[in-house]
């Protein structure tokens, strides 16, 4: 079942880039930008992460915590963060529990080949854990602007 605006955001337990436990419930009382992306250090994912990095001050001033989620490993996330100086948390969803809970693990196709992968999608969650916006068509270069509008 697809998640919709007004639904409670599914809680999850995974690990951040340092291997520390990470749960959505850790952010109760804060607004969260939970963004899902396919792969560290690829062109679209880098553009998206850099848009959030470059506008991080404005996102924080608007009260948002930013969490990026992909199925990449903690080590991959550490390299990605270091290479692009990313100031926010990246969740290592290596068991795919979070992408499946949010309905973003789906069949994709590229060059005529179908495969399972992460759909790029962003969920904006309010202080009470309710989804208040879902950005389905992410503009990777202007993603922060999409969130702040």
Is 105:118 a contact under the CB 8 Å cutoff? yes
Q: Select from 6, 2, 3, 30 the least CA-distant residue to 132.
A: 6
Q: CA 70 → CA 24, 57, 114, 135, distances in Å? A: 15, 23, 19, 16
The active-site residue out of 34, 45, 124, 138 is 45
50 catalytic residue (yes or no): no
CB 21 within 8 A of CB 15: yes
Q: Are the C-beta atoms of residues 49 and 144 closer than 8 Å to each other? A: no
Q: Is residue 20 within 8 Å of residue 106, measured between CB atoms?
A: no
Distance, C-alpha 2 to centroid of its chain: 17
Query: Catalytic residues, which ones?
Result: 45
């Amino acid at each position: 079942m697809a998640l919709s605006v007004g639904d409670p955001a599914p809680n999850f337990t995974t690990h951040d880039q340092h291997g520390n436990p990470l749960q959505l419930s850790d952010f109760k009382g804060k607004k969260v930008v939970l963004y899902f992306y396919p792969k560290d250090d690829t062109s679209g994912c880098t553009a998206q992460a850099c848009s959030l990095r470059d506008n991080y001050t404005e996102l924080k001033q608007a009260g948002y915590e930013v969490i990026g989620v992909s199925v990449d490993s903690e080590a991959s996330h550490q390299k990605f963060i270091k290479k692009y100086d990313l100031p926010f948390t990246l969740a290592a969803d290596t068991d795919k529990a979070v992408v499946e809970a949010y309905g973003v693990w789906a069949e994709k196709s590229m060059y005529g080949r179908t495969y399972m992968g992460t759909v790029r999608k962003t969920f904006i969650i309010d202080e009470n854990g309710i989804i208040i916006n879902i950005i389905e068509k992410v503009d990777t270069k202007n993603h922060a602007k999409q969130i702040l509008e």
